[in-house]
């Protein structure tokens, strides 16, 4: 008796880009690459110039000009992919006729040894673009992967994982995009897009939270949230009374955070910050906090191990 054929796993067709014309989108508008194509190309060209990729002496000396090659960009460990549009642009700038098949878009989780994309083109171009393509992918995928670990750790609670302004100079837009790729939420992009009154600001006003909030409200654009950093229960009460939209609980214990949650009772958004790590984030989230900001997402994320293997 013949065994019945097992149903095949249904998978979406891989996306082919030859050449890249539109940066990657993961789903219908869920994760949009933050740079327009001109800015994307300028950023990648600058990175290639920095690496001397247009004058790659080693490759020119060892690879004949008409040789073609195929390569597979593979994840060496499990994680979340991010930076595919940048990698594609690196290959395109060295070989405008390169053929690329993308199997895993930004924001996609991959297993170890799973292919991310395939490239076919002039061997010189692929070799010269390899390092820059990997630098973008490894750095941004590392941030996305670490973010996903934090997001997974607080599942089942209402807490959102947020990034901070602790980013690599010149890379903030990309690194905050990587946080979104990992399922996190962006905090304010820069000093002009949100108000965060910290202890040093309050020291300039002799600790007067009400005055600080009032002045910020008068200057800030309509709709901009006013946030106040507090490290004591008494400050939290004053911040709520002053009309703060968000209260940052700085280096508080989870038990004290829980007291703050009961005190505020929904009158403001509560954000936890300071001393957050993967071993403590779940307990912090279970205190009933709304947001948890984690500087480590961008300043301490290890690069994800990816490699380009040539046939």
Positions annotated as catalytic residues are 131, 166, 198, 229, 250
Phi, psi of 162 (to 5 degrees): -115, 155
122: β partners: 68
SS3 category, 180: helix
Q: Which residues contact 260 (CB under 8 A, 6 or more apart)?
A: 233, 236, 247, 249, 252, 270
Residue 303 CA to chain centroid, in angstroms? Answer: 12
- List alpha helices for 220-271, DSSP H: 233-242, 254-264
For residue 14, the number of C-alpha atoms closer than 13 Å in the C-beta half-sphere is 12
CB atoms within 10 A of CB 180: 21
Do the bridges between strand 195-197 and strand 226-230 make them parallel or antiparallel, or are there none, so unpaired?
parallel
Beta strand extents in the chain (DSSP E only): 15-17, 25-26, 31-32, 68-75, 79-80, 99-102, 109-110, 115-122, 160-162, 195-197, 226-230, 246-250, 269-273, 291-293, 306-310
- Do residues 72 and 126 touch, judged by C-beta distance below 8 A? no
């Amino acid at each position: 008796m013949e065994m019945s054929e097992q149903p095949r796993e249904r998978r979406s067709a891989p996306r082919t880009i030859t050449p890249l014309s539109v940066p990657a989108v993961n789903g219908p508008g869920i994760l949009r690459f933050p740079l327009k194509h001109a800015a994307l190309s300028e950023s990648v060209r600058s990175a290639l110039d920095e690496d001397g990729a247009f004058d790659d002496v080693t490759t020119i000396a060892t690879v004949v000009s008409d040789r073609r090659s195929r390569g597979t960009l593979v994840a060496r460990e499990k994680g979340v992919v991010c930076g595919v549009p940048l990698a594609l642009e690196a290959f395109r700038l060295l070989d405008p006729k390169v053929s690329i098949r993308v199997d895993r878009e930004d924001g996609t989780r991959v297993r170890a040894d799973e292919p991310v994309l395939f490239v076919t083109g002039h061997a010189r171009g692929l070799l010269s673009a390899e390092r820059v393509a990997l630098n973008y992918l490894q750095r941004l995928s590392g941030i996305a992967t670490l973010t996903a670990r934090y997001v997974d750790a607080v599942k089942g609670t209402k807490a959102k994982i947020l990034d901070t302004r602790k980013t690599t100079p010149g890379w903030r837009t990309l690194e905050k995009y990587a946080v979104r790729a990992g399922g996190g939420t962006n905090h304010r992009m820069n000093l002009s897009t949100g108000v965060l009154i910290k202890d040093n600001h309050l020291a300039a006003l002799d600790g007067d939270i009400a005055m600080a909030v009032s002045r910020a409200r008068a200057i800030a654009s309509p709709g901009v949230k006013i946030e106040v950093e507090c490290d004591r229960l008494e400050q939290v009460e004053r911040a709520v009374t002053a009309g703060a939209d968000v209260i940052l609980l700085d280096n508080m214990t989870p038990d004290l955070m829980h007291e703050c949650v009961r005190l505020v009772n929904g009158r403001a958004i509560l954000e936890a910050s300071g001393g957050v790590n993967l071993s403590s984030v779940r307990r912090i989230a279970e205190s009933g906090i709304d947001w948890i900001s984690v500087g480590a997402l961008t300043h301490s994320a290890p690069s994800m191990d990816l490699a380009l293997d040539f046939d």
